Amino acid sequence: MPLHNCDLVIVGGGVAGSTAALYGRRFGLDLLVLERAAPGGQTASASCIENYPGFPEGITGPELAQNVTDQALKVGVEYVNAEVMGLSHTGSGKWIVHTDQGDVETIAFIVATGASPRHLNVPGERELAGRGVSYCATCDGFFFRGQTVAVVGGGNTAVDEAIYLSEICAKVYLIHRRDEFRCERFLQDRLGSRPNIDLVLDSTVVEIRGEEQVENVRVRNVKSGEDRVFDLQGVFIAIGNVARTDWLGDYVEREDGFIPTNENMETKAPGIFAAGDVRKTLVRQITTAVGNATTAAFFAYHYVQGFRGG
Ligand SMILES: Cc1cc2nc3c(=O)[nH]c(=O)nc-3n(C[C@H](O)[C@H](O)[C@H](O)COP(=O)(O)OP(=O)(O)OC[C@H]3O[C@@H](n4cnc5c(N)ncnc54)[C@H](O)[C@@H]3O)c2cc1C
């Protein structure tokens, strides 16, 4: 890739990156989206999305991801297949984004590199992903209404998901490797009042089993070493998310890899914005990703105008 010089670089071509690019182009910015894989991000791997407004019958993840990309392409957005590896400053107030295909100089950039769920790495997890194994109760819980499910984890997300699922599922096993939860007190109190949540403590999932769909999990008590099998239809793994943002070096503040922003999606570094799942936030959904991206593009546009003295 020859050295590009543009107004705005967007790192990541998921729904956040593509939405920011759509708005950026419509504001008249000269911009590039740098995406290491095919555009679409996590959305492309969701089987069915039923909580994105405008699609009352739901829409498949690949279809929604393709529509979002096509809409950006239609206004002239250019996607470059490149992995961003690092960052430096020009000294004249611009940024240089280093990729495995070359460098790009830009006035502003938006980090939209998303996050990925932490995996248990047990047999059956990958094979049954999307067929009973899920990493998002808000996204997939509704598919399991009236059924028996397990939530794996012991933090705020796991406990919150177990409480939510207990409202729509017949039974919820909450499997945690310790004998106490790391979640906030009010969540623990709510947990105690749910008769259909069974706590399975000091225990880890060692195998997820099923032919076409999840049928059961094998769970080991870490103290006694004893194994038990729980028959169920869904396993929600809620042991955290990982955001790979090391390439930002010391230029941008992060907390566990996630980027704190203000309400304008600005980081503390001038001209650097963040949108979507990579932000430090409690809600990681398509609706929030596109909302953040709209805000980030708007303020990036004003930043570019200000930089040019316009
Ligand atoms: C299986 C599954 C089902 C889901 N179901 C739903 C649902 O029903 N409803 C809902 O609202 N949400 C759902 N979600 C969550 C939703 O998909 C995410 O919240 C949303 O996709 C986040 O978008 P994003 O653009 O911020 O990040 P991502 O989609 O993660 O996109 C980030 C992009 O950045 C790229 N990238 C990362 N690092 C670099 C780098 N260094 N250089 C270049 N490119 C890079 C990645 O390749 C990726 O394409 C689901 C997620 C999954 C995994």
CB 17 within 8 A of CB 41: yes
Query: Which residues are tagged catalytic?
Result: 136, 139-140
Please tell me if the CB atom of residue 41 comes closer than 6 angstroms to any atom of ligand 1: yes
CB 196 within 8 A of CB 169: yes
| Domain boundaries 4-115+243-307, CATH class | alpha beta
Q: How far is the CA of 228 from the centre of ligand 1 (A)?
A: 34
272, β-bridge pairs: 109
Q: How far is the CA of 192 from the centre of ligand 1 (A)?
A: 33
Please tell me if the CB atom of residue 141 comes closer than 6 angstroms to any atom of ligand 1: no
CA distances from 73 to 23, 29, 107, 187 (A): 12, 14, 22, 44
Q: Which atom of ligand 1 is nearest to the CA of 38?
A: 49
Retrieve residue 195's tokens. Answer: 């008769």
Please tell me if the CB atom of residue 45 comes closer than 6 angstroms to any atom of ligand 1: yes
- Number of helices (H) and strands (E), helices first, in the chain? 6, 17
Please tell me if the CB atom of residue 58 comes closer than 6 angstroms to any atom of ligand 1: no
The CATH code for residues 118-237 is 3.50.50.60
Per-residue confidence (pLDDT) for residue 114, from 0 to 100: 97
DSSP-derived pairing of the beta strands 203-209 and 216-221: antiparallel
State the Cα–Cα distance between residues 260 and 38, nearest whole angstrom. 27
Catalogue the long-range contacts made by 1-5 (C-beta closer than 8 Å, 24 or more residues apart).
1/80, 1/82, 1/99, 1/101, 1/102, 1/104, 2/102, 3/102, 3/103, 3/104, 3/105, 4/32, 4/102, 4/103, 4/104, 4/105, 5/104, 5/105, 5/106
CB 273 within 8 A of CB 267: yes
Please tell me if the CB atom of residue 112 comes closer than 6 angstroms to any atom of ligand 1: yes
Q: Is 289 exposed, middle or buried (0-12, 13-18, 19+ CB in 10 A)?
A: buried
State the Cα–Cα distance between residues 24 and 11, nearest whole angstrom. 13
State the Cα–Cα distance between residues 167 and 145, nearest whole angstrom. 9
Per-residue confidence (pLDDT) for residue 1, from 0 to 100: 53
Q: How far is the CA of 176 from the centre of ligand 1 (A)?
A: 26
Angle between the N-to-C axes of helices 286-307 and 15-26, in degrees from 0 to 180, rounded to the nearest 10: 40
Per-residue confidence (pLDDT) for residue 47, from 0 to 100: 77
DSSP label at residue 289? H
Counting Cα atoms < 13 Å in the Cβ hemisphere of 167 gives: 10
Per-residue confidence (pLDDT) for residue 185, from 0 to 100: 81
Q: Which atom of ligand 1 is nearest to the CA of 34?
A: 43
Per-residue confidence (pLDDT) for residue 196, from 0 to 100: 97
CA distances from 84 to 12, 17, 32, 112, 233 (A): 9, 14, 12, 11, 39
The residue behind tokens 């880890």 is: 204
Residue from 11, 34, 42 to probe ligand 1 pocket by mutation (most atoms less than 8 Å from CB) = 42
Per-residue confidence (pLDDT) for residue 156, from 0 to 100: 83
DSSP label at residue 43? G
CA 233 to chain centre: 24
- Taking the chain (310 residues) in runs of 10, the rounded mean pLDDT of each run is 82 98 98 96 87 94 96 97 95 94 96 95 96 91 96 91 95 96 83 92 98 97 97 96 95 96 98 97 93 98 93
Residues of the chain with CATH 3.50.50.60: 4-115+243-307, 118-237
Q: How far is the CA of 220 from the centre of ligand 1 (A)?
A: 32
Q: How far is the CA of 114 from the centre of ligand 1 (A)?
A: 5
